[in-house]
């Protein structure tokens, strides 16, 4: 007599997951990617990282007894909006890399950085000194924009009061900030208004100042 065998269900590699830990509208966009990605939860997490460069990692959480996992995107840290010739191209990360992100993921009201022409080393040096530049009262007026000029001239800063600063390379930052404040305070006491400063020759003991409109 033949034995009847009970058919066992074939395990499927297709899994479902919910996106959590991030706010709208990014959560809905991320959920759409997860829903469209075939395969396991791990493969869906990989699809999230591939689709969104702003996602550094994805945490997978599955409470005991639950069949559906929750994917929590871990966002990269950014310090400023990145520009290319004045147009937004993404965000400058704490690792010095520029990356894209959907609208609403990051919100910045501070200064932007125009990165055209800057090398990876230039951007890493900038990120290293960024906290010092953005400290309250570190500059005579808050920083509005930082732009890369060239390997020879380094960076140029524009302050909210109209002051421009040819910064050069990012070295001697604390010393430059202190000496610049002294020089501008002295200049403003004699003739109020916006100035153009040149710190490219700081190592030679020079801080050059001219009222805006005159060449340095």
Q: Which residue has the tokens 């996602």?
A: 55
Please tell me the pTM assigned to this model.
0.83
Residues 6 or more apart in contact with residue 174 via CB below 8 angstroms: 132
3-state helix, strand, coil in the chain (%, to 5): 25, 30, 45
Alpha-helical segments (H) within the chain: 26-36, 41-51, 120-134, 173-190
Cα separation, 176 vs 121, in Å, equals 20
CA dihedral 170→195→215→82, nearest 10 degrees, is 40
Residues 6 or more apart in contact with residue 108 via CB below 8 angstroms: 78, 80, 81, 91
What are 139-162's pLDDT values in tens digits?
988 999 999 999 999 999 999 989
What are 65-86's pLDDT values in tens digits?
777 899 999 999 999 999 999 9
Structure confidence at residue 80 (pLDDT): 96
Structure confidence at residue 213 (pLDDT): 59
Structure confidence at residue 23 (pLDDT): 92
């Amino acid at each position: 007599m033949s034995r009847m065998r009970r058919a066992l269900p074939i395990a499927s590699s297709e899994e479902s997951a919910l996106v959590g830990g991030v706010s709208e509208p990014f959560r809905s966009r991320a959920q759409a990617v997860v829903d469209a990605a075939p395969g396991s939860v791990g493969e869906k997490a990989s699809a999230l990282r591939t689709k969104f460069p702003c996602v550094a990692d994805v945490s997978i959480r599955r409470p005991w007894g639950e069949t559906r996992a929750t994917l929590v995107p871990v966002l990269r840290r950014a310090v400023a909006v990145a520009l290319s010739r004045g147009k937004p191209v993404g965000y400058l990360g704490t690792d010095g890399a520029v990356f894209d992100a959907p609208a609403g993921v990051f919100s910045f009201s501070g200064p932007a950085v125009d990165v055209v022409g800057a090398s990876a080393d230039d951007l890493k040096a900038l990120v290293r000194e960024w906290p010092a530049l953005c400290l309250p009262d570190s500059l005579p007026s808050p920083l509005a924009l930082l732009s890369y000029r060239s390997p020879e001239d380094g960076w140029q800063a524009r302050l909210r009061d109209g002051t421009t600063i040819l910064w050069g390379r990012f070295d001697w930052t604390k010393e430059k900030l202190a000496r610049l404040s002294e020089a501008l305070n002295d200049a403003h006491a004699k003739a109020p208004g916006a100035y153009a400063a040149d710190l490219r020759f700081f190592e030679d003991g020079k801080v050059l100042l001219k009222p805006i409109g005159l060449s340095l």
